[in-house]
Structure 1
Amino acid sequence: MKFDFTDDQQEIKRTAKEMLASRSTLERVRSAAESRSYDAGLWTELCELGWPGVATAEQYGGGGLGVVELAGLLEEGGYALAGSPLMATTACGAAIQEAGSEPQKEAWLPRLASGDATGTLAVAGRLAPDAAEADVIVLIDPEAGEARMLTGKQAAVSEVQTIDPTRRYGVVATDGSSGEEMPGDGQAALAIGALIVSAEMVGVCQRSLDITLEYVKDRKQFDRPVGSFQAVQHKCARMLLLTEAARSATYFGAWAADADRDRLVEGASLAKASSSEAGVEVTGSAIQAHGGIGFTWEADIHWFFKRAQLDAAYLGGTGYHRGRLAALAADKAGEQA
């Protein structure tokens, strides 16, 4: 089977890249991060373009497109390191669309799709992006596959300062009975959330690789570019391999979400395991390839390293999702025996 983007999907990614290249420069990312705030103007523009609701059904005010299109936007957001609640809000919206009751969908999906409200997807006791400012939180129990919706004072959120100043994080505390039950498919909600994070991480990896390649071509040592040394070339080749593997796995999972739901959970865990591994190693290798300058505040590469560390852990890291894949394979083998 040949898998490629349609002309419309390619156009969505192209226009997203062009827009973010001018509106989310690394200078603006740095300025927002140092002030511990988001670029409110950028978020307004993203909402006007309909990005938060691109994969929300039209009947709830969304664009009615698929997870593949949403993943394309998130990849470009990661590439630009865009500071906005886009990832958290789209993950929350997808969770409500998958697991929510009809009244819950009608109450929240139009607001999330328009950007009038923000949300996040969380696991109790774990870090979640933009939790403290979220109007609605979907709380997932990964093992039981159950979901609950928390709004207003139902959510006890403790804001946590992390190594990533480009995004605000919080921990959601709950006794397990707070909020409203969500009767739908919690496993699908978690799976699509994992795909959304994976897509952002693919963009982070690609930008880290691009910045590194540019640097090792220009940086000279012993009167020759450091990129001419075989050890550096091998490291960059490994970075490319990991990035492409994560990209392929992520878009397979996104395709499964749109076209083959029987493979959604498998595809999402494959994507998250691959992208979490890539995010940590690629950005770490990028720091190393920069040498001493890579550790300084003035360098840009550390922003991507920090984002990748948090994204890699959010909604389960490599080990967790490899375990899920093993369990799925064992279940399938048992059914066939």
Structure 2
Amino acid sequence: MAFSFTDEQQAFREVVQRFLADKSPPTEVRRLMATESGYDEGVWLAMADELGITGLTVPEAFGGQGFGPVELGIVVEEMGRALLCAPFFSASVMAASAIRHAASAGQQERLLPDVAAGINRATVAAQEADGHWDPAAVAMVAERTADGFRLNGSKHFVLDGMSATRLLVAARAAGSAGADGINLFLVDADSDGVKRRVLNVIDPTRKLAAVEFHDVAAERLGDEGNGYSALRAMLTDATVALANESAGGAQAMLDMAVDYTQMRVQFGRLIASFQAIKHQCAELLLEVELAKSSAYYAAEALAEGHEDALASASLAKASASDTFMRAAKTCIQLHGGIGFTWEQDTHLWYKRAKSSEVFLGTPDYHRELMLQAWPEEEVA
């Protein structure tokens, strides 16, 4: 597959870069990560009103931009580079995808305009206490009642779960097992019986919550039993986007490392002049470029519906996660002692690298998925 960005895509990237340079400098990242919500409402609304990116993948018929995985990759790559604190990944990536894949036409018409406008921010609540990302591992049961459905149980590691106004909850029919009987259910986050608590996590720029449901009324999205396929499709979309975001974070670490080596003096010379330092930066550059290539290959494969799209998504996630972690570690080490201080910004990206490493599944998990999903004729 030959791939290159169009002039329009390059111009789009530059617009996003300028916006993020203004709205998400490290000082603002530090301010927002200390807040409960973890984002700035004014910046979020500007993302919706000025850039229109909150509805980037929402069809134009519902007020969105109607763009695909490649354009989404451009946006999240730049967000990863700037370490933007905003509910974009939860609402505009995961929830938007889940609604598109699970909801009926009428439900999409009702829900997606809010996603595009940046209001009624939704998030997906799928994981449970075991931390599994396999949709078939859903254990929560949805009880059918005379007036709809009721949910009881808990969800863990819900991205932006404290600030979301809507929850898309994965649950299954009583007596079902495996991929059968699973659906996504819409719940207002302030409904009676919903209790949320913030989780203490390594990455303060990415807020997670645990959510308990006590006899909570819920609306099923779409047809009965379509939840497994919808969750699988959503996770594929999100996995590709996270690969792009991680590649952007790795690029930020490479840039910071190179910049610092051209400032720091040891033994009377800039450390950038030492061959060992040059080798580390050159090797890291190659790894970052490979991670970007894998991520955009996966985005294009997903956009074109190629048969290796699922395998490519997992390959991209594993590659980008490994590269982001290596880039963060190398950047800190090249900074020397100052790299381990709170005042230095490198640890912010390191913590994001660590959280992204396990978010949506570890690199080892995705390497296994890749082998399972790869087209048989290519494996042979």
> What TM-score comes out, normalization by structure 2 length?
0.80
Query: Which residues of 2 match residues 84-163 of structure 1 at below 5 A?
Result: 84-90=86-92, 91-125=94-128, 126=131, 127-139=157-169, 144=179, 147-152=183-188, 153=191, 157-163=196-202
d(CA) in 1 for partners of 2:34 and 2:211? 25
**Is structure 2 residue 165 aligned with structure 1 residue 165?**
no
- 1:336/1:213 CA distance change after superposition, 3 Å: closer
Q: What root-mean-square deviation, in Å, do the aligned CA atoms of Structure 1 and Structure 2 show?
A: 2.5
Query: Which residues of 2 match residues 141-290 of structure 1 at below 5 A?
Result: 144=179, 147-152=183-188, 153=191, 157-172=196-211, 179=218, 180=220, 182=222, 183=226, 185-290=230-335
2:346 aligns with: 301
2:175 aligns with: none
- 1:10/1:97 CA distance change after superposition, 3 Å: same
- C-alpha contact (below 8 Å) 1:138/1:147 kept by paired residues: no
- 1:139/1:240 CA distance change after superposition, 3 Å: farther
Rg (Cα) greater in structure: 2
d(CA) in 2 for partners of 1:54 and 1:204? 21
- C-alpha contact (below 8 Å) 2:263/2:270 kept by paired residues: yes
- C-alpha contact (below 8 Å) 1:130/1:170 kept by paired residues: yes
Cα deviations by residue, 1:9-40 (Å, 9 ceiling, x for unpaired): 11111110011112211121122223443122
1:18 aligns with: 18
Give how far 1:54 is off: 1.1
- 1:5/1:178 CA distance change after superposition, 3 Å: farther
Cα deviations by residue, 1:252-310 (Å, 9 ceiling, x for unpaired): 11112211243321221111111111122211221111111111110011111111111
**Is structure 2 residue 84 aligned with structure 1 residue 82?**
yes
Runs of 4+ in 1 over 3 A off after TM superposition: 34-37, 137-141, 143-147, 153-158, 171-175
Q: 25-34 vs 49-58, which deviates more?
A: 25-34
Give how far 1:157 is off: 4.1
Cα deviations by residue, 1:120-176 (Å, 9 ceiling, x for unpaired): 2343224232022222333569x739551342247654420212222311235679x
d(CA) in 1 for partners of 2:19 and 2:264? 30
- C-alpha contact (below 8 Å) 2:102/2:221 kept by paired residues: no
Query: As a proportion of its length, which structure holds more strand?
Result: 2
- C-alpha contact (below 8 Å) 1:191/1:268 kept by paired residues: yes
- C-alpha contact (below 8 Å) 2:357/2:363 kept by paired residues: yes
- 1:308/1:57 CA distance change after superposition, 3 Å: same
Give how far 1:203 is off: 1.2
d(CA) in 1 for partners of 2:35 and 2:166? 25
Q: 29-38 vs 46-55, which deviates more?
A: 29-38
- 1:140/1:250 CA distance change after superposition, 3 Å: farther
- 1:121/1:265 CA distance change after superposition, 3 Å: farther
In structure 1, what residue type is equivalent to 2:342? W
2:30 aligns with: 30
**Is structure 2 residue 376 aligned with structure 1 residue 332?**
yes
Q: 297-306 vs 267-276, which deviates more?
A: 267-276
- C-alpha contact (below 8 Å) 1:99/1:189 kept by paired residues: no
In structure 1, what residue type is equivalent to 2:352? R
Unaligned runs of 5+ in 2: 132-156, 172-177
> What TM-score comes out, normalization by structure 1 length?
0.90
